[in-house]
Amino acid sequence: MLSTASSVLSTAARFVAHHALYKVYESLPSRASFSTITKYLNQTEAINIDLELFNEYHFKVEQLMELAGLSCASAIVEAYPTSKSVLICVGPGNNGGDGLVCARHLKLFGYQPEIFYPKRPDKELYTSLTQQCLHFDIPFLNSCPSVEDINSKYSLVVDALFGFSFKPPVRHEFVQIMTNLVQITVPVCSIDIPSGWHVESGPVEAETSLKPEMLISLTAPKECAQHFKGKFHYLGGRFVPESLSKKYALKIPEYPSSCCSVRLA
């Protein structure tokens, strides 16, 4: 009799706990409803916003890079929760720095990132980011991985090669990896701008341009994002002051709760 009563009480307690947990979950902001964007930045606007963040709002490059990289890692975890083996292709500029930060946070989130970094700038910022990744036991590849290697070893590739300041032609150090990323069957996630795209007009050549499955726009989507036909489009970089947002009429969507990324499509 006591055993039966105890069982009933235990069942009731579990029901109450589950009901309470459900109510908490129900109150959380929904990530299923996508936000819409009505404002896309041209290259001049994108450059000017960065300059104002640095000069008028006194942000440091390191601050914005850390926030941007974290938001990229968070978006990737949401979009690809089971794609743990990640190749991160890193370029020589700020886009590459975002990729290095993203790699470090993905490692903290339980992923197994590896980095291909063919041209490393001789600057303290990038040297520090590289050393941080090494201390997190993130491997750096010594040579460009082939199409076959990427397809067999990785479940996701992060394109952090070139950003909105890119001007063709592609430097010789990056020609092979760019060619390979176009040919692989593994999903590609591009940070801010699909590498090789024009920041405003999008893909340069329809057949040979990169076609990422995921795009993570930073600060605000650039005009080329209107040509994105992939599966996931996120916005990251939750650091824009309201006054700057109003000045450029950014109309940034509301981020859910404390999230540092928001899905657009």
The answer to whether the beta carbons of residues 127 and 100 sit under 8 Å apart is: no
To the question of whether residue 163 is assigned a binding role by annotation, the answer is yes
Neighbours of 218 (CB within 10 A): 29
- CB-count burial class (<10 Å; 0-12, 13-18, 19+) for 62: middle
209 marked ligand binding residue: no
Q: Tell me if 192 is assigned to a ligand binding site.
A: yes
245 is known to lie in a ligand binding site: no
d(CA 223, CA 209): 16
- Answer yes or no: is 149 a known binding residue: no
Is 201 annotated among the ligand-binding residues?
A: no
State yes or no: 159 annotated in a binding site. Answer: yes
CA distances in angstroms from 15 to 12, 19, 23, 58, 220, listed in the order given: 5, 6, 12, 52, 44
98 is annotated as contributing to ligand binding? yes
The one-letter amino acid code at 75 reads A
Token pair, residue 237, equals 């970089």
Residues in the chain, how many?
Answer: 265
195 marked as part of a ligand binding site: yes
Measure the CA–CA gap between 26 and 49, rounded to whole angstroms. Answer: 37
Tokens of 22: 């459900």
Q: Would the annotation count 93 as a binding residue? A: no
DSSP state, residue 140: B
Query: Is 95 known as a binding-site position?
Result: yes
Question: Is the separation of the CB atoms in 236 and 214 below 8 Å?
Answer: no
Q: From the annotation, which residues make up the binding site for (6S)-NADPHX?
A: 94-98, 163-169, 192
Q: From the annotation, which residues make up the binding site?
A: 94-98, 159, 163-169, 192, 195
